[in-house]
Homo-oligomer: A and B are copies of this chain.
């Protein structure tokens, strides 16, 4: 019956070990100032009693919480992937993470409010939809680091991938394969959409291909990709860069049903290196964001702000990386599957 006895407190341990609470506290924290024998005895008793320090009481007293609040969206696989690196980085920096999720039924504001009550020392927000004014208001009380969203405000730190550069990498890759008629499927109102489109435009211009540039309305979903494919089909290009991977799979499906072979007739580049892109079945060439560095930078920033370390720039722009898989090939290439190795190692 769990509700029966009170749980073991530091006082219980101290009493059992025959020392004062303060001394027991010193031992439990691993702080200097306790005899070796005593230390061992207290530790033994604590273990035997199944003692677990109460982090709340501990933090309440010590003022600091060493807690970093994280808001992520369960719908975005990329967010979830980021958590791995974030935990590792926080651990290294000596901080704990407290997670609050955004779900289809739980918005940004709710997720944020929960963290604010938990007395986090800083907030790490994954692609927040919260208005900048609101974020700014919060950042007046505690440091806020924004990931994957280019908010421009002097109180907010931003860590994001250079999406413009990412699109350029995609176009450069296709041009190197001999493509000239390269289209771009837009992301609509999604974050990063404008940057990715601009990167495409820049690259086309740089290659002297502005004349054959073509931007088709798309979006972030599979449906959007399918719709874009139909628009493209009247006068198909030889290659296309797509806003993101999910949209790209929608496009792939439609063009294949219309008899186009990928990559023989059409090369396709996605964006984000979403988990499913790696499936042998999809095997999508895509632009990857450097997840681990993003995570590390976010934590570094947050900690620097908390501890008052000077930080040069408010915004960290990370270089993207092209992951070449099976949906891109040389322009006008003959049928046949590429012979290369499946995937470069990750992580």
Q: Is A119 an interface residue (CB 8 A)?
A: yes
Chain B residue with Cβ nearest A56: B56
**Do the beta carbons of A117 and B74 come within 8 Å of each other?**
no
Task: Assess A280 versus B60: contact at CB under 8 Å? Given A2-B140, A3-B308, A103-B87.
Answer: no
- Which of A76-84, A179-187, A233-241, A317-325 lines the interface with chain B? A76-84
In the complex, identify which listed stretch (A37-45, A204-212, A246-254) lies at the interface while the others stay far away. A246-254
B305/A281 in contact, CB under 8 A: no
Residue on B nearest A278 in the bound complex, by CB: B222
Interface size class of chain A, counting residues whose CB lies under 8 Å from the partner chain? 35 or more
- Selected from B52, B65, B279, the residue in CB contact (under 8 A) with A276 is B279
A250 to B55 Cα, complex, angstroms: 45
**Does B280 lie within 8 Å of A119, measured CB to CB?**
no
Name the B residues within 8 Å of A252 (CB-CB). Answer: 281
| Beta-carbon contact of B99 and A279 below 8 Å | no
Closest B residue to A279 using CB positions = B249
Q: Which residues of B contact A104 (CB under 8 A)?
A: 84, 347
- In the complex, whether A14 has a CB less than 8 A from a CB of chain B is no
A83 with B103, Cβ < 8 A, contacts A226-B280, A249-B280 known: yes
CA distance A222 to B57 in the complex (A): 47
Would you give the shortest CB distance from A306 to chain B, in whole angstroms?
A: 8
Closest to A277 in B: B276
Any chain B CB within 8 A of the CB of A282?
yes
Number of identical monomers bound together in the oligomeric complex: 2
Residues of B contacting A347 with CB < 8 Å?
104
Give per-residue flags for A79-103: 1 if the beta carbon is below 8 A from chain B beta carbons, else 0. 0110110011001000010111101
Our pick among B52, B59, B98 for the contact of A98 (Cβ within 8 Å) is: B98
With an 8 A cutoff between CB atoms, is A105 at the interface? yes
User: Are the CB atoms of A101 and B119 closer together than 8 Å?
Assistant: no
Within 8 Å of chain B (Cβ to Cβ): is A142? yes
A contact set with B: CB distance below 8 Å: 2-3, 7, 50, 52-57, 59-60, 65, 74, 77, 80-81, 83-84, 87-88, 91, 96, 98-101, 103-106, 114, 116-119, 139-143, 222, 226, 249-250, 252-254, 275-276, 279-282, 305-306, 308, 347
Could you name 22 residue pairs across A and B whose Cβ atoms are closer than 8 Å?
A: A2-B140, A2-B142, A55-B117, A56-B57, A56-B59, A56-B118, A56-B119, A57-B60, A74-B81, A74-B83, A83-B101, A84-B104, A84-B105, A87-B105, A88-B103, A98-B98, A98-B99, A104-B347, A250-B281, A252-B281, A254-B280, A276-B279
